[in-house]
């Protein structure tokens, strides 16, 4: 799959948005433009070649809890709804547009419906009586083409590897089943994955597997927009000492937590009060972050691991797609997005959403206040099935050993 950015629209006062705006927009401000009233329109010229297109939006919702806790957004192209989401935080969104839909007419009309627009003056001491919905800073249109690749088989979207009847009733020895499924030991399975967020749960699961891979984001958390910005820039400048703030946190036994300012990383050090000084922590973490940054970028170039993202609260496909696109800018990468299981997607199921994007379903995540209380067997089932699909797609490039390329029995 090849993705190319065909058009970038910047919505600040010095940007180029005026040529694309329809109705429903306020006057541009230095860095963004507010979408106002019930809906806002964008008008694109006729698109060129492409099997499909991806529209990305960089937006900030107008919220004022408790009166306006979130904003609904419904995105349509040429009168066809692409998706709907409910947002309470700044985010990047991406919407897939079939090529035939984008080329239905001489122009491509994008409608952003936002029925929860509200006036700031109704909630605060402000004179602003505009009905505000979303501040938009940037919109991009990407064309997507299918690329023939003799080394990779494209798996059809919707393909699923689900638990068998025996697995659904419970496997007595999940570790033995997973090792048989993947053709690897449990530590080897864990080493085939690298976490990109949103907390330390997956890193702790790898530790339970007796694996300790070095990973920039293994025990870190940050906002999705910061994560994507870091990947896009190669985490340029990460590790500067002035950006590193070690803080002693906790109650009984205080641990140094690092608050990194450039990309908003927050992570554990497993170093406790009295073991090191603040200045030594800052110096050591600076060197460590620079090393892990180089290693992370090498992993992106090598594309031999499956990258894992999980989020405790609801995240939509529209929010995951920008992360998938960012990871794939350098080389083909497989992203495993893990969510809670559903009635029609039992725990352990992994499905193909699009080339290089898998969605896994787990029985439960660890509680927010205790990442150690994780589902070891749940993660193991998801990872074993993801590895099978990864190999079926032919993306391992020989790095996954001589394990079988198709499912084996439980």
The span from the CA of 205 to the CA of 175, in Å, is 13
Instruction: Sort residue 127 into left (φ over 0), alpha (ψ -120 to 50) or beta.
Output: alpha
* Cα separation, 328 vs 332, whole angstroms: 5
Q: Token match 């870091």: residue?
A: 230
> Please, which residues have CB within 8 angstroms of residue 260's CB and are 6 or more apart in sequence?
238, 243, 244, 245, 266, 267, 289
Task: Give the tens place of pLDDT for each residue, 350-389.
Answer: 999 988 999 999 999 999 888 899 999 999 999 999 999 9
- Do 202 and 193 touch, CB atoms closer than 8 A? yes
Check residue 46 and give its pLDDT. 86
pLDDT for 396: 37
| Pairing verdict, β 132-145 and 2-10 | antiparallel
The pLDDT assigned to 84 comes to 94
Q: What is the structure's pLDDT at 2?
A: 77
Calculate the alpha carbon distances from 255 to 53, 199, 203, 245, 288 in Å. 47, 16, 18, 13, 18
**The pLDDT value given to residue 399:** 42
Residue 168 is predicted with a pLDDT of 57
pLDDT at position 400, please? Answer: 41
CB 76, CB 82: distance < 8 Å: yes
Given its phi and psi angles, is residue 242 left (phi above 0), alpha (psi -120 to 50 degrees) or beta?
alpha
How far apart are the two ends of the chain, measured CA to CA in Å?
33
Q: How far is Cα 308 from Cα 285, in angstroms, rounded to an integer? A: 24
CATH 2.60.120.260 fits 2-145, yes or no: yes
Q: Where do the structural domains in the chain lie, given as residue ranges? A: 2-145, 160-237+281-392
Regions of the chain short of the pLDDT cut 50: 148-152, 395-410
pLDDT given at position 129: 93
Q: Check: pTM over 0.75? Answer yes or no.
A: yes
């Amino acid at each position: 799959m090849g993705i190319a950015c065909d058009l970038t629209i910047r919505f600040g006062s010095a940007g180029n948005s005026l040529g694309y705006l329809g109705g429903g927009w306020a006057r541009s401000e230095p860095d963004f433009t507010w979408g106002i009233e019930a809906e806002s329109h964008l008008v694109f010229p006729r698109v060129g070649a492409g099997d499909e297109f991806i529209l990305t939006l960089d937006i900030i919702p107008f919220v004022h809890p408790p009166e306006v806790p979130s904003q609904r957004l419904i995105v349509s192209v040429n009168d066809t709804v692409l998706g709907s989401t409910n947002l309470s935080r700044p985010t990047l969104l991406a919407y897939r547009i079939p090529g035939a839909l984008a080329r239905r007419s001489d122009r491509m009309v994008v409608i952003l419906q936002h029925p929860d627009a509200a006036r700031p003056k109704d909630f605060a001491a402000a004179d602003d009586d505009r009905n505000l919905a979303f501040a938009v800073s940037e919109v991009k249109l990407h064309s997507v083409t299918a690329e023939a690749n003799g080394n990779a088989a494209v798996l059809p979207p919707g393909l699923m590897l689900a638990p068998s009847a025996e697995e659904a009733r419970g496997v007595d020895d999940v570790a033995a089943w997973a090792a048989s499924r993947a053709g690897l030991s449990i530590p080897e399975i864990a080493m085939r994955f690298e976490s990109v967020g949103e907390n330390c749960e997956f890193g702790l699961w790898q530790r339970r597997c007796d694996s300790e891979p070095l990973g920039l984001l293994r025990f870190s958390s940050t906002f999705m927009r910061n994560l994507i910005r870091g990947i896009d820039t190669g985490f340029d400048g990460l590790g500067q000492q002035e950006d590193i703030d070690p803080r002693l946190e906790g109650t009984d036994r205080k641990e140094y937590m690092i608050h990194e300012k450039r990309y908003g990383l927050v992570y554990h050090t497993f170093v406790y009060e009295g073991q090191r000084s603040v200045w030594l922590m800052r110096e050591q973490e600076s060197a460590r972050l620079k090393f892990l940054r180089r290693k992370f970028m090498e992993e992106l170039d090598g594309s031999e691991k499956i990258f894992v993202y999980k989020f405790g609260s609801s995240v939509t496909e529209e929010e995951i797609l920008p992360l998938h696109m960012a990871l794939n800018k350098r080389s083909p990468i497989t992203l495993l997005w893990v969510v809670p299981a559903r009635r029609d997607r039992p725990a352990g199921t992994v499905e193909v959403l699009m080339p290089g994007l898998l969605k896994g379903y787990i029985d439960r995540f660890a509680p927010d206040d205790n990442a150690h209380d994780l589902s070891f067997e749940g993660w193991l089932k998801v990872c074993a099935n993801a590895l099978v699909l990864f190999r079926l797609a032919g993306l391992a490039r020989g790095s996954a050993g001589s394990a079988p390329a198709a499912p084996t029995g439980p």
